């Protein structure tokens, strides 16, 4: 009876090792954080933030909203890019400390909310979540972007 018990444990261990996921691939960041922010994050975030607005001109309110499926898809693509860039921020050498990682996770969470708002084609939610997404960015910048960080010393 004891031998069969050990055999089961060994077989289970072998089966688990055979079915495990492959090792994570080595990541190779191509650009520094500042370039990533300028080339990807800023451009894509602007598409999201500029997609819904109300502008007062005299006595008129000019509403800007995505009108076509293609316009909504463009906003969605931008939201996906911003959200996935949160993962890029967690790759060494960009990753700095726990606060950085927490801020990156917050960016991803707000990005996921934005994608859901866009999927619902809900301009009010896009506007409201856009504010939360902006706050996630600014909160990180206040701690890690030297030009802004130095203003709060």
In this predicted model, what pLDDT tens digit does every residue of 138-149 receive, in sequence order?
999 999 987 776
The structure's pTM equals 0.80
**Does 15 map to a domain?**
no
Tens of pLDDT, residues 23-75:
767 888 999 999 999 999 999 999 999 999 999 999 999 999 999 999 999 99
Centre a 10 Å sphere on the Cβ of residue 73 and count the other Cβ atoms it contains.
12
Separation of alpha carbons 34 and 145, rounded Å: 9
Q: What are the CA-CA distances from residue 75 to residues 48, 58, 88, 123, 146 (Å)?
A: 6, 29, 20, 11, 30
Provide mean pLDDT across the span 86-91. 96
Separation of alpha carbons 137 and 148, rounded Å: 12
Domain that holds residue 134: 26-152
**Does 6 map to a domain?**
no
**Does 14 map to a domain?**
no
**Does 1 map to a domain?**
no
Provide mean pLDDT across the span 97-114. 97
**Does 20 map to a domain?**
no
How many domains does the chain divide into?
A: 1
**Does 116 map to a domain?**
yes
Query: What CATH number is given to the structural domain containing 75?
Result: 1.20.120
Helix axes 123-144, 98-119, angle to 10 degrees: 170
**Does 33 map to a domain?**
yes
**Does 10 map to a domain?**
no
């Amino acid at each position: 009876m004891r031998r069969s018990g050990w055999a089961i444990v060994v077989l289970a261990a072998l089966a688990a090792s055979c079915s495990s996921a492959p090792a994570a691939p080595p990541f190779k960041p191509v650009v520094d954080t500042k370039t990533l922010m300028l080339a990807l994050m800023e451009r894509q975030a602007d598409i999201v933030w500029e997609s819904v607005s109300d502008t007062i001109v005299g006595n008129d309110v000019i509403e800007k909203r995505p009108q076509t499926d293609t316009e909504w898809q463009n906003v969605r693509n931008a939201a996906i890019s911003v959200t996935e860039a949160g993962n890029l921020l967690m790759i060494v050498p960009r990753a700095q400390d726990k606060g950085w990682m927490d801020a990156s996770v917050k960016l991803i969470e707000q990005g996921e909310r934005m994608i859901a708002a866009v999927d619902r084609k809900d301009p009010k939610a896009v506007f409201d979540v856009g504010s939360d997404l902006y706050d996630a960015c600014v909160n990180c910048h206040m701690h890690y972007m030297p030009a802004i960080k130095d203003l709060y010393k």
